[in-house]
Amino acid sequence: MSGARLILASASPRRLELLGRLGAVPDEVVHADIDESPRKAELPTVYAARMAAEKAVAVARPGDVLVAADTVVAAGRRILPKAETEAEARASLRLLSGRRHRVHSAVTVVDADGKARHRLSTSIVAFKPLSEDEIDAYLASGEWHRKAGGYAIQGRAEALVRMLQGSHSGVMGLPLFETRALLRAAGWPVG
């Protein structure tokens, strides 16, 4: 694409790494400063898609190609927070212990002409039943901080997952299959 730059609307080092796996190295990484509060009774899939789209709108620049994403961990219709405190992470891990939950990763790509395209990846993840000692050990790692649902599947939490159906990269924060398709549709060269 002549003259177009690739912008990643995310401060997440995981998304930057994942985008690099597609051979797409952004020219700029910009944090989208938006209100990430869920609306009353908003479904997790709707929330994830809205967040990705709003991040894209907040950061998009004419003539550039932009990638924005959001990942939501949901237990039923309940959106679990990006854990800020150990208590939030502990509550999420206790809730997810021994049960299945869904991880929704939404991606929005805006092409150089300003056309936005959207995709949603939904994965099912099941943790083994977690003992309090296992939860304590995981919390001591600190990798839960600012992670949706209080865990990072690319870290120590992966050893606690007994089943994953869907996109591992989506659970990490950027579903590569969907992102590749969107980038190609936007005319960005990816393999």
Instruction: List active site positions.
Output: 70
Which DSSP state fits 156? G
Residue 139 neighbours by CB distance under 10 Å: 19
- In tens digits, the chain (191 residues) has pLDDT values of 567 899 999 988 999 999 999 999 999 999 999 999 999 999 999 999 999 999 999 998 889 999 999 999 999 999 999 999 999 999 999 999 999 999 999 999 999 999 999 999 999 999 999 999 999 999 999 999 999 999 999 999 999 999 999 999 999 999 999 999 999 999 998 87
Residue 118 neighbours by CB distance under 10 Å: 16
- Is residue 78 within 8 A of residue 41, CB to CB? The reply is no
CA–CA gap between residue 119 and residue 139 (Å, rounded): 32
Task: Give 162-179 pLDDT, tens digit per residue.
Answer: 999 999 999 999 999 999
Tell me which residue of 59, 70, 6 sits closest to 30, measured CA to CA: 59
- Is residue 50 within 8 A of residue 43, CB to CB? The reply is no
Task: Identify the sign of the CA torsion 4, 182, 67, 54.
Answer: positive
Enter the pTM of the model.
0.93
Task: Give 82-91 pLDDT, tens digit per residue.
Answer: 999 999 999 9
Fold adopted by 6-185: Maf protein (3.90.950)
Tell me which residue of 54, 45, 148 sits closest to 108, measured CA to CA: 54
Domain boundaries, the chain: 6-185
